[in-house]
Structure 1
Amino acid sequence: MIQRPILLQKVHTALERNPVVALIGSRQCGKTTLAREWVKVDSAGYFDLEDPISLARLSEPMTALRELRGLVVIDEVQRRPELFPILRVLADRQPLAARFLVLGSASPELLRQSSESLAGRLEIVVMAGFSLAEVGVNAQAQHWLRGGFPRSFLARTETDSVAWRKNFIQTVLERDLPQAGIAAPPVALLRFWTMLAHYHGQLWNAAEPARSLGVSEPTVRRYLDVLSGVFMIRQLRPWHANVKKRQVKAPKVYFNDAGLLHQLLGIRSPHHLLSHPKCGASWEGYVIEEVFKALEPDEAYFWATHNGAEIDLIVLKEGRLLGIECKRMDAPRLTPSMRIALDDLNLERIAVVYPGTQRYRLAERVEAVPLAALVEGMEGVFPGLS
């Protein structure tokens, strides 16, 4: 059992200061397991909206919820958005009889649209699969190959991990995406998702997938937005600086989980991963996701110009503008792009994250940082700024 103390503390703190907390993340990332730290699944205070018994108990939701005390957990809450106005009434009671932890597989944006009535009463905590800090740096190779979904990472063998990811992808295609409003056949959506695997780490252009699938560009953009909304894909927006250079305006697309990327690319072993043409892009996406988990930036972008200058990630953290480059090489060096980004964007620092073990200076405000430093959070990546 891998412990997740930082996430537990984050949820605990949110529950202390808010009557309703939403713990959201992709299907099977461990939300229910985490909620069991507070409420047992078979208790009166636990509702699973995919369970017919729980749905029957909530046929009269106000009657079912108003007599409960302590912490109440409602799993897969996005399936019953009509519960949010009822939660508002219960959250406003004085004295407060119960607090509510709602679990969902919808993005913060989608959840906010459904929960506007809870403004000022709801705090959202976003959860992902296991982070490198949680599994430990000694398991980094397995973590990169299998991804962070608990049942994929903890599978007994590589074959078992591959089988789990195959079934997971099928579940998302057959259940989650249709419930999100996509009526396309699962086989067509699998083709689209596989196309996205080859776009991983690249600029998004809807024209080619639209032609291949025989649908309009707005349709494939909607497919992409829905996959982003269920935490399968990250769309990284470009940073637009006030400079004379022509800057890239299209977003980049990344898989949130490296294991799912490898599944759709047909990568089944460490050797196959290291020899695959998408190895470098996979590493970049893996590092970017770990940076999100470690730094929890307020905002994040990439930056690129049509002249070839670019930086993989720009994060805004507590008013500081910081750059991150992902280099899968033994000894990264300062590049012209890094110098241009420092000058044009006025970055406070750049960290070049690489798979080595030594931290060393590349230039003023630029440092090579081992991937393992991410387990220490902000202080590990940018010492002295936290």
Structure 2
Amino acid sequence: MIEREIDAHRLRAALERSPVVLMSGPRQVGKSTLARQVVEPARSNLFDLEDPRDLARLGEPTLTLPGAHGTVVIDEAQHRRDLFPVLRVLVDEDRRPGRFLVLGSASPDLVGLSSESLAGRVTVLELAGLRMADVGLSSRMDLWLRGGLPPSYLADSDQLSAAWRDDYIATFLERDLGGLGFRMPSTTMRRFWTMLAHYHGQVWNASELARSLGVSRPTVDRYLDALTDALVIRQLQPWFANLAKRQVRAPKVYVRDTGLLHRLLQIGDRDDLLGHPKAGASWEGFVIEQFLQAHPVVDPAFWATHGGAEIDLVFGWERQRLGLEIKLTDRPGVTPSMRNALADLELDHILVAHAGSQSFRLGERITAVATDELLTSPLDTFVTS
């Protein structure tokens, strides 16, 4: 088992300040394991809502929960969305920190958080896949190839990892999506998800995918939102600026876990990956996910114009607006897009993440940064606030 100290620290801090902590994350990402690592609840305080016995124990939550001591852990809470109103009442009676830890395999809204206001009572955390800091820099290639879901990453071979991910995709489509309330044929969703894999890192084009699937545009938008709510797809929203230039207004789409992306693309090993036409886009998505886990940035987005200027990530940090460009090369250079972004968006600095081992200045307000350093060091290492 890999000790996930950063996420364990985040969870402990949340439990020390809030009566309710909601930790969401995709299936098999390690939520239950992390909860046991941090809380170690007695069996009487752990409710796994995929277990019929625990569902029965929570048949009358107003009778079962008030007398529970310590932290009550409710796993797979999306199966009982009616629990949140009960938790609100119980917390209003006793606001001690760390009273409830709720785990869900979907976005907070889909788990049920939006059904009842817990404002001022809840801290929401998202647990993504393994971080670079969890596995070490020497394992970067394995993490990129296999993805951050622990059973996939920890498999004894690439072949076993690939087989596990194939089973994961099948189970997710055939069972898990239905459990989250989405009623779509699994064969249709597999076709759609595979198409999305080929669009990974590109601007969303609903009309084109709708024609390919033979369905309406609202239907493919609904499919995309379903996979987004299930936390397996990221819709990176566009950054708008008050410019005369025509700017892209549709989101970019990414398969959040590159291990799942690679199986949808039938990539099996390192040679397949490095020789694949989507290698650069896969690397871009991998770095974006790792970067957003590693750094407390706000309002992450991408920026692009119809004239071809583009920045992979624009975000706020320490009262600055920064840009991030991601390159699968060890010889990055300054591009016209970077110069346009500095001028048009008034960025304070652009970081160019590259696959080499050295960080160096490329130009005024542009710094080339080794990706390994970027994902394991504080941002103020490269940009002063």
TM over 0.5: yes
Quote the residue 1:362 is aligned against: 362
Quote the residue 1:196 is aligned against: 196
Is the Cα contact below 8 Å between 2:16 and 2:97 reproduced in 1? no
Deviation at 1:111, TM superposition (A): 4.3
**C-alpha distance in 2, partners of 1:301/1:334?**
21
Is the Cα contact below 8 Å between 2:19 and 2:97 reproduced in 1? no
Is the Cα contact below 8 Å between 2:15 and 2:97 reproduced in 1? no
The answer to whether the aligner puts 1:372 opposite 2:372 as a matched pair is: yes
Q: After superposition, give the CA deviation of every residue in 1:115-162 in whole Å (9 maximum; x if it has no partner).
A: 533121011011101011111110001110000000000000111101
Matches within 5 A, 1:85-100: 85-94=85-94, 96=96, 99-100=99-100
Quote the residue 1:226 is aligned against: 226
Is the Cα contact below 8 Å between 2:309 and 2:337 reproduced in 1? yes
Deviation at 1:184, TM superposition (A): 2.2
Is the Cα contact below 8 Å between 2:26 and 2:232 reproduced in 1? yes
Is the Cα contact below 8 Å between 1:133 and 1:374 reproduced in 2? no
**C-alpha distance in 1, partners of 2:32/2:287?**
26
CA separation of 1:95/1:28 partners in 2, compared to 1, >3 Å: closer, same or farther?
A: closer
Is the Cα contact below 8 Å between 1:39 and 1:72 reproduced in 2? no
Deviation at 1:355, TM superposition (A): 0.8
CA separation of 1:38/1:282 partners in 2, compared to 1, >3 Å: closer, same or farther?
A: closer
Quote the residue 2:342 is aligned against: 342
Quote the residue 1:174 is aligned against: 174
Q: Percent identity?
A: 54
Amino acid corresponding to residue 129 of structure 2 in structure 1? G
Amino acid corresponding to residue 124 of structure 1 in structure 2? V
Deviation larger for 144-153 or 204-213: 204-213
CA separation of 1:58/1:249 partners in 2, compared to 1, >3 Å: closer, same or farther?
A: same
**C-alpha distance in 2, partners of 1:136/1:272?**
23
Deviation at 1:375, TM superposition (A): 3.5
Is the Cα contact below 8 Å between 1:300 and 1:316 reproduced in 2? yes
Quote the residue 2:5 is aligned against: 5
Amino acid corresponding to residue 379 of structure 1 in structure 2? L
Quote the residue 1:44 is aligned against: 44
Is the Cα contact below 8 Å between 1:69 and 1:98 reproduced in 2? no
Quote the residue 2:17 is aligned against: 17
SS at 1:36 equivalent: helix
SS at 1:200 equivalent: coil
CA separation of 1:208/1:10 partners in 2, compared to 1, >3 Å: closer, same or farther?
A: same
**C-alpha distance in 1, partners of 2:147/2:374?**
16
Is the Cα contact below 8 Å between 2:78 and 2:111 reproduced in 1? yes
Deviation larger for 208-217 or 140-149: 208-217
CA separation of 1:380/1:374 partners in 2, compared to 1, >3 Å: closer, same or farther?
A: farther
Deviation at 1:176, TM superposition (A): 2.1
**C-alpha distance in 1, partners of 2:168/2:95?**
43
Amino acid corresponding to residue 64 of structure 2 in structure 1? A
TM-score by length of 2: 0.96
Amino acid corresponding to residue 183 of structure 1 in structure 2? R
CA separation of 1:357/1:93 partners in 2, compared to 1, >3 Å: closer, same or farther?
A: same
The answer to whether the aligner puts 1:29 opposite 2:41 as a matched pair is: no
Quote the residue 1:307 is aligned against: 307
Amino acid corresponding to residue 163 of structure 1 in structure 2? A
Deviation at 1:381, TM superposition (A): 6.2
Deviation at 1:171, TM superposition (A): 1.4
CA separation of 1:175/1:330 partners in 2, compared to 1, >3 Å: closer, same or farther?
A: same
RMSD: 1.6
Matches within 5 A, 1:218-367: 218-367=218-367
What number of residue pairs does the alignment pair up?
385
Deviation at 1:383, TM superposition (A): 4.0
Deviation larger for 151-160 or 108-117: 108-117
**C-alpha distance in 2, partners of 1:168/1:381?**
38
Is the Cα contact below 8 Å between 1:31 and 1:127 reproduced in 2? yes
Q: Specify every segment of 5 or more residues in structure 2 that has no aligned partner in the other structure, as ranges.
A: none
**C-alpha distance in 2, partners of 1:216/1:383?**
46
Matches within 5 A, 1:48-127: 48-94=48-94, 96=96, 99-111=99-111, 113-127=113-127
SS at 2:117 equivalent: helix
Is the Cα contact below 8 Å between 1:201 and 1:254 reproduced in 2? yes
TM-score by length of 1: 0.96
Q: After superposition, give the CA deviation of every residue in 1:49-107 in whole Å (9 maximum; x if it has no partner).
A: 10111001101111111110111100011211111111112212247497000001111
Is the Cα contact below 8 Å between 2:359 and 2:370 reproduced in 1? yes
